[in-house]
Amino acid sequence: MGTESSNKYKIGLVLSGGGTRGFAHLGALKALKEHNIKPDIIAGVSAGSIVGALYADGEDAEKALKALTSKKLFGFLEFMIPRNGLVKMSGFQKTLRKHLSSEKFEDLKIPLIIFAVNVNKAELERFDKGDLVSAITASSSIPVVFPPVEINGAYYLDGGIINNFPVDLLRDDCETLIGINVNPIGEFKKIHSLKAIAERAFHISMRNQEAEKEKLCDIYIEPDGVDQYGLLDISKAAEIFELGYKKASEVLEKARNKPQ
């Protein structure tokens, strides 16, 4: 952990990827607000980048839930994957631009860092300046489902491919680091479809990166039960939100009552 003299921020918050399991992030943010905890910086990947941007833009957790489950903003997730496996995200980008009051990272109320994979260089890249929606879309472009996003001549995909829970990249900058991981791996008794196998493989590949990162967090929140929801299971958003709220409330209450 970083020494106090090297810490730029008092409280840092890291939000993992996980598809629509990211609704649990919003529930956890509601619990943070109830415990009067406000981060000084946020880092997010994929679903965490979407939630992080809305929160850093000043959006209340429950209002953000309504926005993300609206047909206008996230209805694009309810689809049958076409033969080429790619779904255009232009509609999502257009509506997200209308919803966010901030156009650039510099306009946000809370500093935000978003990570995406540069496909050309096979490297994880950090976005914290310039156009906000382009970075969110790049970080959220799940391979095979969505096409790569072009930014300044380079192509980007979901940041979770390389680092789905980037607590290691924020640890030394924060006195207290809160990590919310919505990508636990439970046991599946039966897998009935090719789609389920693809989702399972994606979650497993991301989870392998996350095993040691809990130790880097001062407060670690991993909602119980979200592993039973699919990557694009938007119809269960309210349930997933409640799982995040419940677990975060338990963890924060325990941390508050912990002897100093």
Alpha helix positions (H), 140-228:
194-210
Length of the chain: 260
Record the tokens describing residue 166, joined without a space: 């980037």
Q: For this structure, is 235 an active site residue?
A: no
CB 115 within 8 A of CB 169: yes
**Residue whose C-alpha is closest to residue 47's, from 68, 87, 13, 19:** 19
Say which of 57, 158, 227, 233 is annotated catalytic: 158
Question: Cα separations (Å) of 207 from 128, 156, 179?
Answer: 25, 21, 14
The Cα–Cα gap between 200 and 144 comes to 14
**CA distances (Å), 201 to each of 45, 103, 124, in order?**
18, 34, 20
Torsion of CA 51, 147, 115, 222, to 10 degrees: 50
Whole-angstrom Cα distance, residue 157 to residue 102? 23
User: At residue 41, what are phi and psi to the nearest 5 degrees?
Assistant: -155, 150
Q: Which of 46, 49, 102, 139 is catalytic?
A: 46
**Is 158 a known active-site residue?**
yes
Could you list the active site residues?
46, 158
